[in-house]
Amino acid sequence: MTRPEVLTGPSVSYSSQPPSLRDCTKKQLLEYFENTYSLDEWVFTSIKDEKYFYKCPDRLRLPLIFYYCHPAVVYVNKLLLAGLLKKRVNPEFEAMFETGVDEMSWDDTENYRMGGAYKWPPLKDVVEYRRKVRQKIRDIILHNDVEFPVTQDSPWWAMWMGLEHERIHLETSSVLIRQLPTDMVEKPVDWKYGPLTTETPVLENPLLPQSASTVRLGKDADCPIWGWDNEYGSLKLDVPAFEASKFMVTNREMVEFIQDGGYEERQYWSDEGWEWVQYKQAKHPPFWVCNRGCKSNCGADLSQYSHCANPTDDGSNVNGRCRKYLLRLMFDVVSLPLDWPAEVTYHEAKAFCAWKGPDFRLPTEAENHMLRGLQDFDANKIETDPVCGENVTAVYNVDFAYGSSTPVNLYPPSPSGCCDTFGNAWEWVEDHFNGLPGFAASMYYEDFSAPCFDGKHTMILGGSWISTGNLASRFARYAFRRHFIQHAGFRMARSTNNDTPVKVVETPVYVLGCPSPSRVQNGVPAKYGVKAIIQPSTNCQYVEDTNMWFRQIVKQQYSTNGASKMEAIFKRIRSLAWEATTPQHASSILVIGCGPGKLAFDLTKFSSEVIACDASARCINFALKLKSNGKYCFTNDDKFENGDELIENGHESYVEPPQGAVLENVDFKQLTWIPCELRNFDLIINMYLDRAENPLAWIIRMKEMVRQTPTGKCIFISRDWSYEKLKDTLEPDLSLVKSEKVQSNSKMQMWLSVWESGDA
């Protein structure tokens, strides 16, 4: 069988150092791009046959063809947003491959794009697309001068973002490929697994005392090493003395947990963790292999496949007490390496700690930094970040030093005495993911971090064997849902005197389709030895999306005791929309920031295609129920009081759609960013600018989304964005038609401006 050709450049098996934002050369930037692009493709040379690119290794993810193409699409979309790229390469691909699947729940159903009627393009077309994008980016780097230093508002920031985003997908794709049946994959040329053992087996994992210290998290805006938005800001924490295990918890230790009935004992698991165990019917860590036909994560036509269908107790698997267990590596199954770190979900890590004793827990983010024992970062010596050092692979298992984990005692310990404080496997920590003080979402990727500041995402730190670039940086902060499968393990910690501070996000986050906002299920992650630092989410949308705000905006739009507070504005918009969507111009309308949907329902009276979106799950849930039921009844939790100017029917408060609305003509979507698949609208109405974290990014996006014909128009409604502020960004692509101030019934003044396509 001939492997499909997926390389668009040279095959490489090493990682280059990330270029400085302060003063790198074109040669250095180009080399880092070529290395990034080639490394990603090298991983995909492991797929034996083109047909396997269309398999779903994980039911919560898309086929591998998506992950092969997606990073190239992100380059294009971000560089267009930044203005470094002037024209799309393939609009259809840049819509199809832009947005993946967020693994927000362990029992999600399969995404509609996983199979069935959805048609993915042939591999050869995708390879050719990657080839074209490669050349486009080479041209941008070679034929444009970078203005240093590259700052967060520089268009070149988007170039670095594309590079580090693709390196994230080395991790993503490797986890997925590792879940494919082994007969579908083959080890690439030059791929080298780590040693299974060292001369000295790890029979003990002692707790090492760590002195009290002060830790500063975060980095400065002028740091010469590029980072994601969640890394910026500053937080100082006083960390009391504690103990931490010298090694990450090993497979040997995990076997003991299993043999003691760890996966069968409810007492060791959180409520959420036990639900996951029952749903998954989990009996061991996800990459382990036994002979009991365990449930796999595969989706679509692989949903019945089990890694654990092979006999494993034939006497050839001689590895001590775990005779029946094997380990799935990237492309092969081997005898379980007892001294490698156990790769587990957060739920499994916490259950193991509970099994060890009530005072055992995971380290906190601050403790994790202490264990690294690094000198303070010097912005003038970027090598003080290990990823920028000359010999990083001599002291850490990162940067493809090996194509797998290694024994936990293979590399030297840090000054704390602990091993693998960087690399080998990511480490789960106790803290919830949140922005640091001073957090601001990136204008080029507003929804990269902020949607995860919900108290449901737990941090992983330190990187794995496949971590390169930003992922291997001392500043890297990543997080996933607690059921997430990754090359991730853990080490144990224990408080000795004072309680250790752990960051907990307790902002109630409303999840679409749920009857009430969900709070953090377990509150403080650890039961003993920690002190919760209660934080509001640094996602301003989560903080503002309260029941009180929801009641207020519904009243503003739907109040029946007199005209609603927004009616004057809506009336003017309807008039302008009618002018822009006359019958001779078949109309499609997009409403951004629709709130609970009153205007969108109104527009269905003269448009057969209205798409309305908002970041608020409460508002979209309200609008969807109003559409499906023809009426929204308020529960005791969100019921309106008498005098709140909503329909009262006995003891029931309810709202109905506007009279004459054609309900089947509107579709509501919860979106934190506008994907490329939403485009070519005759009319776009943007009411979201005053709520957006980075309004400029949304304004730039409008220019691409409106139909490039004389009928294509955009209407902006904002308290702050007058046409004078908009024109520098919109012109010459869009031309001003009219601008006016509109006063609502509540005396609130809004700027309203109408723009038409530059081709008009």
> Please, how many CA atoms are within 13 Å of residue 590, restricted to the half-sphere of its CB?
26
CATH of the domain at 669: 3.40.50.150
- According to the model, what pLDDT value does residue 12 have? 96
In tens, the pLDDT along 368-377 reads 999 999 888 8
704's enclosing H/E stretch is helix 695-705
CATH of the domain at 372: 3.90.1580.10
Residue 375 lies in a domain: yes
Same domain, 287 and 349: yes
In tens, the pLDDT along 481-521 reads 999 999 999 999 999 987 899 999 989 888 876 655 555 44
- According to the model, what pLDDT value does residue 749 have? 84
675 contact partners, CB below 8 Å, separation of at least 6: 95, 98, 99
- According to the model, what pLDDT value does residue 522 have? 44
Among 122-136, 442-456, 554-568, the least confident range: 554-568
- According to the model, what pLDDT value does residue 559 have? 79
Q: Sheet containing 457-461: which strands, arranged edge to edge?
A: 478-481, 457-461, 426-432, 488-489
Who wins on pLDDT, 644 or 675?
675
* Residue 106 confidence (pLDDT) above 50: no
Residue 661 lies in a domain: yes
Helix axes 157-177, 123-143, angle to 10 degrees: 150
3-state secondary structure of 274: helix
- According to the model, what pLDDT value does residue 590 have? 95
pTM of the model: 0.92
Contact 255, 337 (CB under 8 A): no
Strand partners, 588: 609
With b for 16 or more beta-carbon neighbours within 10 A and e for fewer, the 570-608 pattern comes to bebbeebbeebbeeeeebbbbbbbbbbbbbbbbbbbbbe
Same domain, 143 and 109: yes
Cα dihedral sign, 316-317-319-324: negative
3-state secondary structure of 457: strand
- According to the model, what pLDDT value does residue 520 have? 47
Residue 17 lies in a domain: no
Give the closest residue to 373 by CA, choosing from 420, 422, 416, 424. 416
Q: Is the peptide bond before 121 cis (omega within 30 degrees of 0)?
A: no
Strand partners, 361: 493
In tens, the pLDDT along 195-231 reads 999 999 999 999 999 999 999 999 999 999 999 999 9
C-alpha span between 497 and 30 (Å, rounded): 51
322 contact partners, CB below 8 Å, separation of at least 6: 251, 252, 255, 336, 338
Contact 677, 581 (CB under 8 A): no
Residue 573 lies in a domain: yes
Q: Of 153, 184, 215, which residue sits at a domain end?
A: 184
Residue 21 lies in a domain: no
- According to the model, what pLDDT value does residue 637 have? 54
Same domain, 566 and 509: no
* Residue 629 confidence (pLDDT) above 80: yes
* Residue 22 confidence (pLDDT) above 90: yes
Same domain, 172 and 161: yes
* Residue 107 confidence (pLDDT) above 60: no
Work out the average pLDDT over 554-573: 77
Same domain, 361 and 380: yes
C-alpha span between 60 and 66 (Å, rounded): 13
Residue 9 lies in a domain: no
Phi (first) and psi of residue 409, to 5 degrees = -110, 15
Who wins on pLDDT, 191 or 314?
191
Strand partners, 489: 427
Residue indicated by tokens 């975060």: 218
- According to the model, what pLDDT value does residue 652 have? 59
Same domain, 578 and 515: no
As a whole-number percent, the residues of the chain with pLDDT over 90 amount to 70
- According to the model, what pLDDT value does residue 265 have? 97
Work out the average pLDDT over 650-666: 85
Residue 16 lies in a domain: no
Q: What angle do CA 54, 57, 59 make, to 5 degrees?
A: 100
In tens, the pLDDT along 27-60 reads 999 999 999 999 999 999 999 999 999 999 988 8
- According to the model, what pLDDT value does residue 676 have? 80
Domain tally, the chain: 3
Work out the average pLDDT over 264-271: 96
C-alpha span between 518 and 508 (Å, rounded): 6
Contact 430, 362 (CB under 8 A): yes
Residue indicated by tokens 């050719």: 128
Same domain, 130 and 258: no
Same domain, 553 and 455: no
Return the DSSP state at 745.
T
C-alpha span between 501 and 493 (Å, rounded): 13
- According to the model, what pLDDT value does residue 582 have? 60
- According to the model, what pLDDT value does residue 110 have? 46
Residue 584 lies in a domain: yes
Confidence of residue 288 (pLDDT cuts 50, 70, 90): very high
Joined together, the tokens standing for residue 59 give: 């039911």
Strand partners, 685: 591, 715
* Residue 317 confidence (pLDDT) above 60: no
Q: Of 162, 184, 206, which residue sits at a domain end?
A: 184
Work out the average pLDDT over 453-458: 94
Same domain, 530 and 558: no
- According to the model, what pLDDT value does residue 389 have? 86
Q: What is the amino acid identity at position 496?
A: T
* Residue 633 confidence (pLDDT) above 90: no
- According to the model, what pLDDT value does residue 563 have? 54
Determine the structural domain holding residue 382 and report its residue range. Answer: 192-544
- According to the model, what pLDDT value does residue 332 have? 98
Q: Of 544, 579, 603, which residue sits at a domain end?
A: 544
Work out the average pLDDT over 67-73: 98
Which of 412-416, 643-647, 724-728 is most confident?
412-416
Same domain, 539 and 554: no
* Residue 407 confidence (pLDDT) above 70: yes
* Residue 405 confidence (pLDDT) above 90: yes
C-alpha span between 584 and 588 (Å, rounded): 13
- According to the model, what pLDDT value does residue 643 have? 43
How much is the mean pLDDT over the chain? 89
In tens, the pLDDT along 691-710 reads 988 898 899 888 888 988 77
Same domain, 634 and 712: yes
Same domain, 507 and 588: no
* Residue 687 confidence (pLDDT) above 90: yes
Contact 53, 123 (CB under 8 A): yes
In tens, the pLDDT along 705-759 reads 898 877 789 999 999 999 999 999 999 889 999 999 887 666 678 899 999 986 5
Cα dihedral sign, 671-687-578-660: positive
Phi (first) and psi of residue 503, to 5 degrees = -80, 125
Contact 142, 98 (CB under 8 A): no
